[in-house]
Structure 1
Amino acid sequence: MYTAFIFDLDGTIIDSEMIGLTALQATLKEQGIDKDLDSLRFSLGIPGLKTLEILNIADIPTTLESWMEREKPLLKNVPLFEGIIEVIDQLPKMGIVTSKTAEEMDNSFYLLNIHQKFEVIVCASDTKRHKPYPDPLNLGLSLLHCEPNQAIYIGDSIYDMRCAHAAGVDFGLALWGARLTDGFDEAQYIFETPGDILKLMND
């Protein structure tokens, strides 16, 4: 049915979301800003710069650097979701479209040595506009030489779904990362486990 499978990264392939949230929380606390983790979950799926803009942080560059420095030692050993590599090894053409910057990818994903499994990797540094705009996914499709109706985008956030639909691409919810289906009524698929993705190969 699909010739290309495109994945989000955080909360979909790597189990990194709590690392990012707790590092952000600690960084904000240094500035006297107390936020519980649930109130920061809006940041999942968008670039860190956008997160700090929404939080109305005065010194964004310094805060972003501090946040990334807190993440670095933890992201070096970020875990993969159980079963995701086994699924990836059985899929055809694949790509990644993530809200991580190139620097963040160097400090995390590329250290895992699985990037060679993907034909295309698009990060936040590659486009001016980011999810939920379609630009990063459109770039991924172009690099994969794939039409929107030939691809599926798999992610765990509302930004992922909006990005997919803005690009004319079907969306599959990675429930192992999202944990809840609230707000995802328009998802074409809900995958409870990575293995569920393989059912599409038989359609």
Structure 2
Amino acid sequence: MNYKHIIFDIDGTMLNTETADMLATQETFFQLTGEKRELDEFRFSFGIPNSVVFPRLGIEDAGKASLMWAENYRKYHSSIRLFDGIEEVLKELKKRGYILGIVTSKSRQEFNADFATFGLEHFFGAVICVDDSPRPKPHPDPILEYLKRSNAKKPESIYIGDTLYDKQCAHSAGIDFALAVWGTHNREEIKADYFLEAPLEILELFRSR
């Protein structure tokens, strides 16, 4: 194991955005259909681009739905939190000489509104948002775009995320994957190369270079 690039997902990995995400999806769905559904029915949508989520819910105009979702999401923005230990982990990884990156299903606008407000963007080099590659996760395109922009080699790169889509994206791009167990609900379904129970375990996996 000789990693140089550690690539992070955002939602469910660094930020706890699940409540805001699902509430916004639930509210948007109700506004467009008049149908009330239990919150748990929208759990599948977490970490997946809205362009995929809303067609799955039977809503054809995903663009309109995404605009409504963004407005609703802002209502719940105060519920978003960093997972405990994330900032400490990022500081220490940089100190140890690792190159940090981001691959996220957020749009660039969402990244600036949600993640950048926590003041952590200076830890990262390349940031690949959903609008930076032809196809979103689970396709390999976002990670391949990161590798291209960072001039990173596949054997030296690893992706940390919390969903099956994250795992599929990493492995289809030819790099290793570590599961952020603290942010996932279906650990048993995800075949990762590494399982991390809490953010601080990242430091145990990646020793000083």
TM-score (norm 2): 0.91
Deviations 1:89-110 (A, max 9, x none): 1111000000011121122112
Partner of 1:123: 129
129, 137, 148: which one pairs with 2:154?
148
What is the CA-CA distance between 1:29 and the residue it aligns to? 1.5
Q: Count matched residues.
A: 202
The answer to whether residue 194 in structure 2 is matched with residue 201 in structure 1 is no
Partner of 1:178: 184
Are the equivalent residues in 1 in contact too, given 2:102–2:126 (CA < 8 A)? yes
Partner of 1:90: 92
C-alpha distance in 1 between matches for 2:134 and 2:207: 37
The answer to whether residue 172 in structure 2 is matched with residue 166 in structure 1 is yes
| Greater mean deviation of Cα atoms: 56-65 or 18-27 | 56-65
- What SS class does the counterpart of residue 96 from structure 1 fall into? strand
* Runs of 4+, deviation exceeding 2 Å: 33-39, 58-62, 73-78, 200-203
C-alpha distance in 2 between matches for 1:199 and 1:124: 30
Are the equivalent residues in 1 in contact too, given 2:161–2:180 (CA < 8 A)? yes
C-alpha distance in 1 between matches for 2:157 and 2:187: 22
44, 67, 83: which one pairs with 1:42?
44
C-alpha distance in 2 between matches for 1:38 and 1:182: 19
Aligned-residue RMSD, C-alpha: 1.6
- What SS class does the counterpart of residue 15 from structure 2 fall into? coil
The answer to whether residue 135 in structure 2 is matched with residue 134 in structure 1 is no
- What SS class does the counterpart of residue 206 from structure 2 fall into? helix
What amino acid sits opposite 1:201 in the alignment?
F
C-alpha distance in 1 between matches for 2:194 and 2:56: 30
Deviations 1:83-129 (A, max 9, x none): 01101111110000000111211221122221111011000010120
The answer to whether residue 30 in structure 2 is matched with residue 23 in structure 1 is no
Taking only the aligned residue pairs, the percentage that are identical comes to 37
C-alpha distance in 2 between matches for 1:50 and 1:75: 22
Are the equivalent residues in 1 in contact too, given 2:50–2:62 (CA < 8 A)? no
Structure 1 regions of 5+ residues with no counterpart? none
What amino acid sits opposite 1:161 in the alignment?
K
Structure 2 regions of 5+ residues with no counterpart? none
Are the equivalent residues in 2 in contact too, given 1:97–1:140 (CA < 8 A)? yes
Partner of 1:189: 194
What is the CA-CA distance between 1:179 and the residue it aligns to? 4.2
Q: 1:77 to 1:116 in 2, by over 3 A?
A: farther
C-alpha distance in 2 between matches for 1:202 and 1:88: 13
C-alpha distance in 2 between matches for 1:197 and 1:179: 19
C-alpha distance in 2 between matches for 1:174 and 1:6: 12
- What SS class does the counterpart of residue 174 from structure 2 fall into? coil
